[in-house]
C-alpha cells in the first residue's frame, strides 16, 4: 500500500504562484510514476503533470511553461510549482502514484484562482 498526503493548496490571484507538495509513505519502492491530476466541478479528472522514476516528465499542454513537477530521489515527495496561474486552473488537485499493480490517489487539495 501507498499513502499520499497533499498540501499547499489555497486561494491566489491570477498571475500568482502556488506550490503543492505530496508526501508518499508505505511501499514507496513500488512507485514508478508520481504526478498530479486535477478536477474542476462538472469536468473529468485530467492529467496535469507526471514524472517517471527515470525522470521522464509529461505535462498537459495547458500548463506547459507555467507548471513544473519535481520529485525527491527517494520518491517520497512530489512537488508542483505553479506560476502565472489563471482562473481556469481552479480545481481540486490530486496527487497520483503509479505502481506496477495499481494507481494510488491522495485526498485532494483545492486550488482557487481569482480573476
Q: Of 81, 76, 75, which Cα lies nearest the Cα of 93?
A: 81
Contacts of 113 (CB under 8 A, 6+ apart): 11, 12, 13, 14, 16, 85, 86, 87, 88, 89, 90
pLDDT tens-digit map of 43-54: 999 999 999 999
Backbone phi, psi, residue 105, to 5°:
-130, 145
Given a cut of 80, whether residue 75 has pLDDT beyond it is no
Q: Of 54, 52, 53, 86, which Cα lies nearest the Cα of 67?
A: 86
The pLDDT assigned to 72 comes to 86
pLDDT tens-digit map of 9-39: 999 999 999 999 999 999 999 999 999 999 9
The pLDDT assigned to 88 comes to 97
pLDDT tens-digit map of 84-93: 999 999 999 9
Amino acid at each position: 500500500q501507498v499513502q499520499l498526503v497533499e498540501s499547499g493548496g489555497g486561494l491566489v490571484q491570477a498571475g500568482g504562484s502556488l506550490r503543492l507538495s505530496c508526501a508518499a509513505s508505505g511501499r514507496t519502492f513500488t512507485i514508478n510514476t508520481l504526478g498530479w491530476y486535477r478536477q474542476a466541478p462538472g469536468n473529468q479528472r485530467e492529467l496535469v503533470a507526471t514524472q517517471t522514476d527515470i525522470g521522464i516528465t509529461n505535462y498537459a499542454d495547458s500548463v506547459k511553461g507555467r507548471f513544473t513537477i519535481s520529485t525527491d530521489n527517494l520518491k517520497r515527495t512530489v512537488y508542483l510549482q505553479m506560476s502565472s496561474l489563471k482562473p481556469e486552473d481552479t480545481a481540486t488537485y490530486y496527487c497520483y502514484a503509479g505502481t506496477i499493480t495499481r494507481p494510488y490517489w491522495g485526498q485532494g487539495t483545492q486550488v482557487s484562482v481569482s480573476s
